[in-house]
Structure 1
Amino acid sequence: MDFQAPNTLAEQIANYLAERIMTGQIRPGERIQEATLAGELNVSRASVKEALYTLERWHLVDITPRKGASASRLDANHASELYDVYMHLLMMLALRLCERWQETDKPILLESVARATEQMRKPTANITAVVEASFEVMEACCRVVDNPYLTEALSNFKPAVSRAYYLSADRYRQGLQQTRSFFSELPKAVLSRDSERAQSLIRQFAEHQKSLIRQALEPETPVAEEGSL
């Protein structure tokens, strides 16, 4: 039997703040005051500080000496660069998955994909549920590949990528048809050990997702008034 230690207080605070940042309750660039937060949550500043370091590792918070912590910025350019790095990590995961999966792994992979596509087929798809189910596929792949360094890197990107999805939820919902197509084609490439095809699918899908996120986060260009220069 596997025993898992309960989340530490700092982890609980980190998860609490992560949800608020990911869903936009704490806006990009907004300061996070250690003392104020410690008072609101009735916890020590040391626990808050530890939580903020965790959020920095998750790319949700920037910590600047003598200025403190603030929610990391997420404009179109930041989101694009974030997704570029994440895409390459996923491509590495796909390569290792094609090399390492065994017959006993097929149910794990296919069941996680089935759960994700089921969420996407619902008439009123819940973005939170879709995003979580999509990450469950990634986590299942990580368990099969069993590379702790790659798993840690991808896990640290999950909150920041989720945040990009939440902030562009309307456009992300519009792209669910292509997302379903991606999740139906990727297992075929992996199970045939076609790493080039798997990586190509990830690149195409990631570029599409990046485009949706950029469109959602790009500032609207003001329409010039008639007669103005």
Structure 2
Amino acid sequence: MEFRAPNTLAEQIANYLAERLMTGDIQPGERIQEATIASDLAVSRASVKEALYTLERWHLVDITPRKGASATVLDASHAAELYDVYMHLLIMLARRLCERWEERDREGLLAAIKQATTRLYAKPPNILAVVQASFDVMDACCEVVRNPYLTEALTNFKPAVSRTYYFCADRYRQDLDRTAAFFARLTQAVLARDAGAAEEQIVQFAEHQKTLIHQALTQDIPATS
């Protein structure tokens, strides 16, 4: 993985480290040494520190006073907590979308959903491309809803959610038909302005995703007697 100095240095450092965290190059719980990162990338420790604060906002690192930063834990319990909060943010987005979308928004929303659905059936399936397409749908919805606080909250969850998909890619790869059905039913509910039905679809899908994550993250843990 090659590092290239960006216009916004701290942000690019954050993106570089986020990729390493999401792919497991930096393992959950692993300490992140500011001095080592700064030396490896030939940047200042101040820039690394600023990047780590961004990663903390993205829920990828924990920063403890006098101990420094470490990659957030990724186990079944933490993943479930992550999805619970993310699910409720998505429900809020869907409800506001049902209330606020106008006819002029229809084409853009449907185009984003079509692109996501197309990526679902790519051969071979690319899980990270599917995840990015899902985020593109979310971003299109955020543009319609125009709630900057909700948009920021959802944006900050993207890296952590991407990490769970990456760690559980094999299980998600076998479940893409269900994802396609979710997009279809959610679209139908939103266009009908049926907020209750939209919420139901999000809850069902999120609970199913949590089950997949739990299975993936506990498959190598021996049962206790």
Q: Which amino acid aligns with 2:111?
A: E
TM-score by length of 1: 0.93
Letter in 1 for 2:183: F
**What is the CA–CA distance in structure 2 between the aligned matches of 1:223 and 1:51, rounded to whole Å?**
39
Residue 185 (structure 1) shift: 1.1
- 1:156 matched to 2:156? The reply is yes
Superposition deviation, residue 28 in structure 1: 0.1
Q: Deviations over 1:77-124 (max 9, x none)?
A: 000000000000000000000000000100110000000000001231
Deviation at 1:58, TM superposition (A): 0.3
Cα RMSD of the aligned pairs, angstroms, is 1.4
Secondary structure (helix, strand or coil) at the match of 2:63 reads strand
Structure 2: stretches of 5+ with no match in the other structure: 1-5
Q: Spell out the pairing of 1:73-152 with structure 2 (5 A cutoff).
A: 73-152=73-152
Task: Write the distance in 2 (CA, Å) between the matches of 1:63 and 1:32.
Answer: 10
1:33 correspondence with 2:33: yes
One-letter identity of the residue aligned with 1:26: I
Partner of 1:65: 65
Contiguous gaps of at least 5 residues in structure 1 = 1-5
- 1:173 is aligned to 173
- The separation in 2 between residues aligned to 1:156 and 1:92, in whole angstroms, is 16
Secondary structure of the structure 2 residue equivalent to 1:55: helix
Sort the Cα spacing of 1:221 and 1:62 in 2 relative to 1 into closer, same or farther, 3 A. closer
Secondary structure of the corresponding residue to residue 108 of structure 2: helix
Query: Which amino acid in the other structure matches residue 51 of structure 1?
Result: A
Deviation, structure 1 residue 223: 7.2
Q: Give the whole-Å Cα distance in 1 for the aligned partners of 2:159 and 2:221.
A: 29
For residues 40 and 221 of structure 1, the distance between their equivalents in structure 2, rounded to whole angstroms, comes to 34
Amino acid paired to 1:61: V
1:220 aligns with 2:220: yes
Alignment size in residue pairs: 220
Structure-1 residue corresponding to 2:182: 182
Amino acid at match of 2:72: S
Supply the distance in 2 between the matched residues of 1:101 and 1:114 (Cα, whole angstroms).
18
Distance verdict in 2 for CA 1:45–1:114, change over 3 Å: same
